[in-house]
Amino acid sequence: MKTLETFITVHDQEILLECENTNKYKYISNYKYIFVGMRDTSKIDRLNNVIIANKLPHNIEQYKYLVDYTAWYALVKNSLITSPYIALIQYDTFVSKNFEDKTMQVLKNNPNQFLGYVPYSMLSEDFLIKNIGAEPLSTAINTIYHIDIYNLVNNYIKKTNDTFWQSSNNVATSLPTLTNFVEWFEPLIINIIKFKGCGHAFERSIKIFSIINYLSNNYLPEVLKHQQLDSHATQHNSPEYVKRRQSLGNLGKKLRSILGKIRTV
């Protein structure tokens, strides 16, 4: 029987222990934590449902601002996934009783997709105009793959009328699709790691990858709630975000002329 394997990304052992002590993920039958970063793990080292990424042969934990990508990289590169379907979620989430069943229903109908739980509009300026990760992502993909992501998204919306992206790193997919994404994103790292907001670039790259590879996207907002805790201080209220947003004046005008013609937010 094909089952769903869930991996929960976490960066603090006290948070992990609290999740376990409160039975937070009691509705998930098959899950493991993947601990990212370089913090103390002395209290969780021996737990059989914890994977510590920085102790694996293949890891990129030196790049902490890549957030969940380092977890996905570790899982794929160390061949730690044993199920054909995977849910990849963050520690600051709450899932419903039917999380696994609903997720599996969607993935079985089409394994070649990224199923999202927090859909948001690509027409919002926060997608590719006024976000700290947009410019680094655009530069990286243009440099490595010679693709203009603004034209790509513009043409995609015109052709499909699909205006949504998954808006967080909480997704589900098949093992082949995840593997392909990890391999595709890896060459981009060198171009974005110097930016503190590179995690935002990674987050948006999932939709870009889907568009490039003609992957459909479905959404199940009713089975997962995301608190969006700003553990790396890269959200809208962080000093770096504010500084870089203020520097995007001319770029913002250019991008509005591309995406803003479709529809105003």
Write out pLDDT tens, residues 150-192.
999 999 999 999 999 999 999 999 999 999 999 999 999 999 9
Query: For residue 161, is it left (φ>0), alpha (ψ between -120 and 50) or beta?
Result: left
Residue 224 contacts residue 118 (beta carbons within 8 Å): yes
Angle at 127 between CA 244 and CA 98, to 5 degrees: 130
Q: Quick one: pLDDT band at residue 131, thresholds 50, 70, 90?
A: very high
CA dist., res. 255 & res. 138, Å (int): 12
Predicted pLDDT of residue 237: 45
Residues contacting residue 135 through CB under 8 Å, at least 6 positions apart: 244, 248, 251
Predicted pLDDT of residue 246: 43
Domains of the chain are 4-259 (3.90.550)
Predicted pLDDT of residue 248: 39
Q: Quick one: pLDDT band at residue 247, thresholds 50, 70, 90?
A: very low
Residue 127 contacts residue 204 (beta carbons within 8 Å): yes
Q: Is 98 helix (H, G, I), strand (E, B) or coil?
A: coil
- Residue 226's Cβ-count burial label (10 Å; 0-12, 13-18, 19+) is middle
CA dist., res. 253 & res. 24, Å (int): 44
Residue 13 has pLDDT above 50, yes or no: yes
The mean pLDDT value of the chain amounts to: 89
Residue 259 has pLDDT above 60, yes or no: no
Residue 124 has pLDDT above 80, yes or no: yes
Predicted pLDDT of residue 119: 96
Residue 169 contacts residue 203 (beta carbons within 8 Å): yes
Q: Quick one: pLDDT band at residue 233, thresholds 50, 70, 90?
A: very low
Q: What is the mean pLDDT of residues 132-147?
A: 96
Predicted pLDDT of residue 231: 52
Residues linked to residue 173 through DSSP beta bridges, in sequence order: 86
- Residue 231's Cβ-count burial label (10 Å; 0-12, 13-18, 19+) is middle
Question: Of 121, 132, 102, 104, which is closest to residue 202 (Cα–Cα)?
Answer: 132
Predicted pLDDT of residue 228: 73
